[in-house]
Amino acid sequence: MKGPKIRFEKVLKAYGELKVLEDLDFHVDENEVVAIIGPSGSGKTTVLRVLMTLEGIQGGTIFVGDEPLNVMRKGDRLVPANRAHVRRIRSKIGMVFQSFNLFPHMTALENCIEAPVQTKGLSKSEATAESLELLAMVGLTDKRDHYPSQLSGGQQQRVAIARALAMRPEILLFDEPTSALDPEMVGEVLNVIRDLARSGHYTILLVTHQMGFAREVSDRVCFFDGGVMVEEGAPDDIFGNPQNDRLRHFLSKILEAT
C-alpha cells in the first residue's frame, strides 16, 4: 500500500514567540478530500500556506508523496531544500486563494496559460487548448477574453480554479474559497469544487467555513484550534457526534450564526 500523499511530521510554524502550528502531525491520503475547520487564528490556513511553501516552517518535516518538501536528501544526509527541489515538488500542488489573486492585467484565458507556458514548457497552442477546456468545465467559455475587473467574484474564483488546474496538479488547496464572495455567488464556486472532489483525481485540502459543504464533500474533517489539530474524523462523526468540548463550542457558535 502506498503511503499518504501529504504528511506533516512534528511541524512547527512560529512568528517569533507566537506558535501558529505546534508539533503538528497530520496526513492526507491520495485522492482523499479533507476539510479543515476551526476558528480564525487556529492555524488552519497556515497548513495550506506552509504546504504551498508560501511560508517556511521552523521545525519538523512536510512530505509530499514520499519526498520531503522542506529538506532534501544529499548523499545520506538531509539538507535544507534548494530552490529547484522546492519548485519541483511545488509543481504538484495547486492553490486557490480566498481573494482569487487573478492577474489583473491578463484576460481569463491569459491567466490560465501564463504558468503552463512559462514553467511546464507547453506551447502556447497546447496550453490554450487545455485552458479552454478548463474554462468550459467551470462554465466560463464566453468570458475567456474578459479581464478580472469585468468578472463577478464568483466568476473570478472559477477562473482561479481553472488557472490552478491548468498546472495539472495532483494536490489542490482551497483556502476559504467562498469567504470573499457575495452569498448568491457561493453556490457556483462550490459546484465546481464539488465536481473536482467527486472526480477522484485530486487530493484535496479545503479550508472552509461552509460547514454543510464540508460535511457533504469531504472524506474526513479536521478541527483545528490554537495551532493544534484537536479532533478529526468522518464528517458525520465530527458534525453529528463531536467529542471535544472546543469543537462542540465551535459548532454551536457556527449554528447560532446561521
- Point out which span in 2-10, 147-155, 193-201, 202-210 binds other proteins (CB under 8 A): 147-155
Per-residue contact flags (x/-) with other proteins for residues 51 to 90, judged by CB under 8 A? -xxx--------------------------------x--x
Query: What is the β-pairing status of strands 71-74 and 220-225?
Result: unpaired
61 and 11 in contact (C-beta within 8 Å)? yes
- Point out which span in 25-33, 35-43, 102-110, 223-231 binds other proteins (CB under 8 A): 102-110
Q: Is 228 near other proteins (CB under 8 A)?
A: no
State the nearest-atom distance from the C-beta of 60 to other proteins, in Å. 21
Angle between helices 108-119 and 124-137 (to 10 degrees): 130
How many residues interact with other proteins (rule CB under 8 A)?
27
Burial readout 67-81 (b: 16 or more C-beta within 10 A, e: otherwise):
ebbbbbeeeeeeeeb
| Residues of this chain, 148-187, that bind other proteins according to CB under 8 A | 149-150, 163-164, 167
Closer by beta carbon to other proteins, 49 or else 220: 49
Closer by beta carbon to other proteins, 119 or else 252: 119
Alpha carbon separation from 40 to 1, 207, 225 (Å, rounded): 36, 11, 8
- Point out which span in 16-24, 29-37, 92-100, 134-142 binds other proteins (CB under 8 A): 92-100
Cβ atoms within 10 A of the Cβ of 230, count? 18
Among 71, 91, 220, 233, binds other proteins (CB under 8 A): 91
Q: Is 94 near other proteins (CB under 8 A)?
A: yes
The closest alpha carbon to 197, from 51, 42, 55, 32, belongs to 32
Closer by beta carbon to other proteins, 181 or else 230: 181
Q: Is 121 near other proteins (CB under 8 A)?
A: no
| Nine-digit cell string for 139 | 462554465
Query: What is the β-pairing status of strands 6-15 and 18-28?
Result: antiparallel
Q: Where are the beta strands (DSSP E) in the chain?
A: 6-15, 18-28, 33-37, 59-64, 67-68, 71-74, 77-80, 93-96, 171-175, 203-207, 220-225, 228-233
State the nearest-atom distance from the C-beta of 115 to other proteins, in Å. 4
Q: By the criterion CB under 8 A, which residues form the site for other proteins?
A: 52-54, 87, 90-91, 93-95, 97, 99-105, 114-115, 118-119, 147, 149-150, 163-164, 167
